Amino acid sequence: MSDARIIGAGMVPFGKWVSKTSESIAQKAILDAIADAEIDRSAIGEAFCGTSYGGPLAGQRALRDLGMTGMAITNVENACSSGASGVREAVSAVESGRAEIALVFGVEKLTKFGGGTLPLEATDIDVSQGMVMPASYAMRAQRYLMKYGARPEHLAMVTVKARKMAADNPYAQFRSPVTVEQVLQARMIADPLTLLMCCPTGDGAAAVVIANSRRARQLSRRSIRIKASVAQSGKFETGAHDISQSELTMRTVALAYEQASVGPNDINVAEVHDAFTIAELMYYEAFGFCEEGAASSLVESGQTTIGGRIPVNPSGGLLCRGHPVGATGIAQIIECVWQLRGDAKARQVEGCKIALTHCTGGGVSGLDHGACLIHVLGR
Amino acid sequence: MRPAGPHDARDSSRSTWTRRNGQVVLLGTQCPQCGNLAFPGRDFCDRCLTEMSNNSVEIRPTGVVYSCSSVHVAPAGFKVPYQIGYVDLSSGVRVLAQLQGGASKARLAPGDAVTADAGQIRTEPDGTKVESYVFRVMKDESQ
């Protein structure tokens, strides 16, 4: 169990911030997190910045204009898990005693690419053949549907559920309701995934302030404990293997449950990496929220919406909030901080005591995914 | 038309395929110590760390489609829609490649027996057509 606690959280609504620089997007989130922590910026001993497409020294560029340079600033790149990887580094920093209080922020400005799929590393052999992220999940979806007899309607239900919950989240981009039919009839991206089964990108930033438990208790009466902070990478696998299950996420969550001394039945709310709807179904099973092959029944039952047995992505997830890559992992954590504090307003999950956040991603030939980060949070 | 590079179109240090007697073969490396077969070829064996950069082998490119998708949104240079898929080769290696049908030009599906052929996979910004191994339905040899 970690000794770190979150004492402040701030983020900007995700969307298309075309006229803003990535630095200014990040600065707004950082100042909100510091204000939420009710500390002076001088109390921060170390800072981490998670970004995948933000370029060299993104952390220094954002903090410079806030007069927050001089301390150690470390930039963390781990594709879709960059922000969450930064959180894990900040946890280490406060646990080791290197800093009493650390700042972590994730930022991304993806409108600079002008739309389309995320640019991947051109030297990767799969990418050179035409691999794109939607196709990698589409092939998982094809195997999943074949293996477990699920239908494209189940892939659509994940979006319908996400939109329903995002309606109450002012930080999400897509908040209008959609029907299963609308999702199925949307433009095809990589079959069987339609446009509405794929998360949008966008611009955004999210920041948290983390302190060791002693300082956290002095400073705040509503700090949130980081009960587990776990990272793993995909194992290199070049032969035949089953892609309808995520070995990486299963392995990471087992470590997270162990570190936090909890099990799947203890989780009251989860924010998971629904970059594509098939992913959310696979992760229900990986987390043990249902048996293998039962995810389609679980989403259909409504048990993963607010008011259900295990609400997943009350924020609307990546599907509705959007996925400014480096900011996503921290945005997930902030949603859970709000849920645990009881500050989530209309989308509040009642009786929320333990929350799980999960992000994974990155397309590397031969790997399930590049990185997977799971955090377990509690009051 | 020029062949797609190994890891990068601009890096020709190691080819991933060639033609042998009119047939496309894939080029990998095999570990001289433990026999581990690698595609694309690698400098070191990921199992036992023995250097295998000089031990290139030809891999027979016949296998079965494991999973596939028709891609409708792709980076510049790729003509959409195109189908890509994982092919499990008889040698045990899984390869990701474009699936370009066969005589019928039909879309392929998991379980289809396929073999490699050469085909254009994309176009460089300067207009150069990039050729690579692609997979097509295997001809029924009994006919």
Q: Hey, are the CB atoms on A131 and B96 less than 8 Å from each other?
A: yes
Same domain, A237 and A132: yes
Stretch B13-42: mean pLDDT: 93
Closest C-alpha to B28, from B36, B40, B18: B40
pLDDT of residue B9: 40
Stretch B52-76: mean pLDDT: 95
Instruction: Confirm whether B72 is domain-assigned.
Output: yes
Same domain, A285 and A185: yes
Tokens of A342: 């009881």
Domain that holds residue A20: 4-113+202-222
Same domain, A209 and A320: no
Q: Which of the following is catalytic: A49, A80, A199, A372?
A: A80
Pairs of residues, one from chain A and one from chain B, whose beta carbons lie less than 8 Å apart: 99
Amino acid at A62: A
In tens digits, chain A (379 residues) has pLDDT values of 778 999 999 999 999 999 999 999 999 999 999 999 999 999 999 999 999 999 999 999 999 999 999 999 999 999 999 999 999 999 999 999 999 999 999 999 999 988 778 888 878 899 999 999 999 999 999 999 999 999 999 999 999 999 999 999 999 999 999 999 999 999 999 999 999 999 998 999 999 999 999 999 999 999 999 999 999 999 988 888 999 999 999 999 999 999 999 999 999 999 999 999 999 999 999 999 999 999 999 999 999 999 999 999 999 999 999 999 999 999 999 999 999 999 999 999 999 999 999 999 877 787 888 999 999 999 9
Task: Compute the CA torsion angle B59, B61, B62, B68 (nearest 10 deg).
Answer: 130
pLDDT of residue B4: 56
- ipTM for this model: 0.92
A130 touches chain B (CB under 8 A): yes
The minimal CB distance from A190 to the residues B70, B94, B98 is found for B70
Could you give the angle at which helices A133-148 and A152-166 cross, rounded to 10 degrees? 120
| Set of chain A residues whose Cβ sits within 8 Å of the Cβ of B16 | 125
The minimal CB distance from A143 to the residues B8, B40, B67 is found for B67
Phi, psi at A341, each rounded to 5°: -80, -15
Tokens of A253: 């969550």
A147 touches chain B (CB under 8 A): no
Q: Hey, are the CB atoms on B82 and A122 less than 8 Å from each other?
A: no
**More confident of the two residues B3 and A360:** A360
Closest C-alpha to A53, from A13, A22, A29, A92: A22
Q: Is A80 a catalytic residue?
A: yes
Nearest CA in chain B to A124: B7
Rg of chain B over CA atoms, in angstroms? 16
Instruction: Confirm whether A269 is domain-assigned.
Output: yes
Instruction: Confirm whether A173 is domain-assigned.
Output: yes
Same domain, A213 and A260: no
Helix (H, G, I), strand (E, B) or coil at B97: strand
Instruction: Confirm whether A119 is domain-assigned.
Output: no
Instruction: Confirm whether A275 is domain-assigned.
Output: yes
B118 touches chain A (CB under 8 A): no
Same domain, A13 and A103: yes
Tokens of B94: 């899984």
Statement: residue B6 has pLDDT above 50 = no
Q: Hey, are the CB atoms on A128 and B9 less than 8 Å from each other?
A: yes
pLDDT of residue A115: 78
| Set of chain A residues whose Cβ sits within 8 Å of the Cβ of B88 | 239-240
B12 touches chain A (CB under 8 A): no
The minimal CB distance from B98 to the residues A125, A130, A241 is found for A130
Same domain, A182 and A214: no
Same domain, A333 and A261: yes
Whats the size of chain B, residue-wise? 143
For chain B, the domain total comes to 1
A297 touches chain B (CB under 8 A): no
A91 touches chain B (CB under 8 A): no
> What digits encode the pLDDT tens for the residues B75-121?
999 999 999 999 999 999 999 999 998 666 678 999 999 999 999 99
The minimal CB distance from A189 to the residues B73, B88, B92 is found for B73
A146 touches chain B (CB under 8 A): yes
pLDDT of residue B140: 56
Instruction: Confirm whether B5 is domain-assigned.
Output: no
Helix (H, G, I), strand (E, B) or coil at B31: coil
Nearest CA-CA distance, residue B113 and chain A, Å: 15
Q: Hey, are the CB atoms on B122 and A191 less than 8 Å from each other?
A: no
Instruction: Confirm whether B123 is domain-assigned.
Output: yes
pLDDT of residue B12: 46
B4 touches chain A (CB under 8 A): yes
Q: Which of A129, A139, A233, A242 is the mutation pick for testing B, counting most B CBs within 10 A?
A: A129
Q: Hey, are the CB atoms on A241 and B94 less than 8 Å from each other?
A: yes
pLDDT band at B14 (very low <50, low <70, confident <90, very high): confident
B132 touches chain A (CB under 8 A): yes
Instruction: Confirm whether B13 is domain-assigned.
Output: no
- For the purposes of burial, counting CB atoms within 10 Å of the CB of A101, is it exposed (0-12), middle (13-18) or buried (19 or more)? buried
Q: Hey, are the CB atoms on A122 and B8 less than 8 Å from each other?
A: yes
Least confident of A2-16, A354-368, B5-19, B57-71: B5-19
Same domain, A208 and A351: no
pLDDT band at B1 (very low <50, low <70, confident <90, very high): low
Same domain, A148 and A92: no
CB A208 within 8 A of CB A8: yes
Taking only residues 167 to 226 of chain A, the set having a beta carbon closer than 8 angstroms to any beta carbon of chain B reads 187-193
Same domain, A276 and A176: yes
Q: Which of B2, B73, B80, B121 is the mutation pick for testing A, counting most A CBs within 10 A?
A: B73
The minimal CB distance from A139 to the residues B68, B75, B122 is found for B68
Same domain, A243 and A269: yes
- Global pTM reads 0.94
Instruction: Confirm whether A263 is domain-assigned.
Output: yes
| Residue burial A287-302, b: 16+ Cβ < 10 Å; e: rest | bbbbeebbbbebbeee
Same domain, A26 and A140: no
Instruction: Confirm whether A362 is domain-assigned.
Output: yes
CB A325 within 8 A of CB A79: yes
Q: Tell me the C-alpha distance between B61 and A166, whole Å.
A: 47
Phi, psi at A357, each rounded to 5°: -120, 145
The minimal CB distance from A146 to the residues B78, B110, B121 is found for B110
Domain that holds residue B92: 62-137
> What digits encode the pLDDT tens for the residues A140-160?
999 999 999 999 999 999 999
For chain A, the domain total comes to 2
